[in-house]
Structure 1
Amino acid sequence: MIDSGLRVLFCGINPGLMSAATGHHFARPGNRFWPALHLSGFTPRQLAPSEQFELLSYRLGITNVVDRPSARADELTRAEYVAGGENLVDKVLRYQPMWLAVVGITAYRDAFGDRTARMGKQDRVIGETRVWILPNPSGLNAHYTLPRLADAFAELAQVS
């Protein structure tokens, strides 16, 4: 779900099995992407995964690093991440969002070969697009509560 003129292109790791079955990003009920997006101020209300196309009206979009669905991200190979990173660069150069927000630091590190990356704004620029790393909103990411996750998203919302 990408278009030209986006403020932020959010990039998940890969589709989970529920997302693959429904065709909606971040579709698993325990995923906190949609609540964090709303609580951070990106959307005026919490959208359901089935309403993902409304994001375009807020100049937001969604894609993935890797297209292959899996039950868990650790089932993906390094080669898939690297190929996905190359495809992601092509998408960013084609659509030129203001920001690329990769949701998951390990996915970013593997896709771009940057072991020193930290959360937040990156030095990397793809064309004119600036890059930001957000925490993985999966319910399995116990390091981030929903309020902490929303705060991390809000940092990006303030600069975009």
Structure 2
Amino acid sequence: MDIAGLPDRIAAGIQLLISGDKPKPGGLSLGKCYYYADGSNNFWALLYDSGLSSEALTWQDDKELSRLGIGLTDLNKSDELGSGHIRLEALVREFRPQCMAFNGKGVAKDYVRQAGTHERVELGLQDWRIADTEVFVLPSSSGLNTHPLLLGRDELLLDKPAWWAQLAMHLGRRSRAGVAET
């Protein structure tokens, strides 16, 4: 099946799989065939500043992320008509990442709606899983997401970069003191 949209950037041995929603039709990411190629999206800075990536990368390096144990996909490809959760679950089963992260609360809610599970979605580590893999919901890296503080699970109130750092700490990629671990 030919899935329209960006190709998945996943390889064996990934620790983290990050799923966005889908690139905007006619947007820079689709046009350039790279994830998060829109200059207003903070994905690449958040990835590095949080400690999730040990290297400062740009959208032109999206194929390099799997080397760092991170995979990229989108929940919805343009030909899936609301059934992207099936493909996403299959990817999680196949590649067995330690954690599945949604880049945005909206995409996580869309996954729950598509899967028909009615799980509660808040920022942070969820109390539900996908194919036995833990789930973490990040605030969207979009430049349009400008909320200074965001409320998450257990009433935790953090800014966008701190939520991304929470995921890095959870995965052992960043220490509590804020120093990225090697």
Bucket of the pairwise TM-score, normalised by the shorter protein: 0.7 to 0.9
Q: 2:14 aligns with which of 6, 15, 28?
A: 6
Q: Does 1:27 align with 2:37?
A: yes
TM-score normalised over the length of structure 1: 0.85
Aligned-partner Cα distance in 1 for 2:124–2:145: 17
Task: Report what 1:156 is aligned to.
Answer: 167
Which one has the bigger helix percentage?
Answer: 1
Q: 2:132 aligns with which of 122, 128, 134?
A: 128
In structure 2, relative to structure 1, the CA distance for the partners of 1:115 and 1:125 (3 Å cut) is closer
Task: Report what 2:147 is aligned to.
Answer: 143
Q: Does 1:119 align with 2:123?
A: yes
Q: Name the % identity.
A: 28
Aligned-partner Cα distance in 2 for 1:115–1:124: 7
Q: Tell whether the 8 Å contact from 1:13 to 1:66 is kept in structure 2 after alignment.
A: yes
1:8-47 deviations in whole A, cap 9, x for unaligned? 1011111232111111101100000000000001123321
Quote how far apart the aligned CAs of 1:4 are.
Answer: 2.1
Aligned-partner Cα distance in 2 for 1:109–1:88: 14
Unaligned runs of 5+ in 1: 70-78
Unaligned runs of 5+ in 2: 1-8, 150-157, 172-182
Q: Tell whether the 8 Å contact from 1:135 to 1:144 is kept in structure 2 after alignment.
A: no
Q: Tell whether the 8 Å contact from 2:119 to 2:128 is kept in structure 1 after alignment.
A: no
RMSD between superposed Cα atoms in Å: 2.0
Aligned-partner Cα distance in 2 for 1:7–1:154: 16
Larger radius of gyration: 2
Q: 1:9-158 residue pairs with structure 2 within 5 A?
A: 9-16=17-24, 17-68=27-78, 80=81, 82-113=82-113, 114=118, 116-144=120-148, 148-158=159-169
Runs of 4+ in structure 1 off by over 6 angstroms are none
Quote how far apart the aligned CAs of 1:115 are.
Answer: 6.1
Aligned-partner Cα distance in 2 for 1:112–1:157: 24
Q: Which has the higher contact order (CA 8 A, sep 6+)?
A: 1
- Residue 25 of structure 1: SS of its match in structure 2? coil
- Residue 163 of structure 2: SS of its match in structure 1? helix
TM-score normalised over the length of structure 2: 0.75
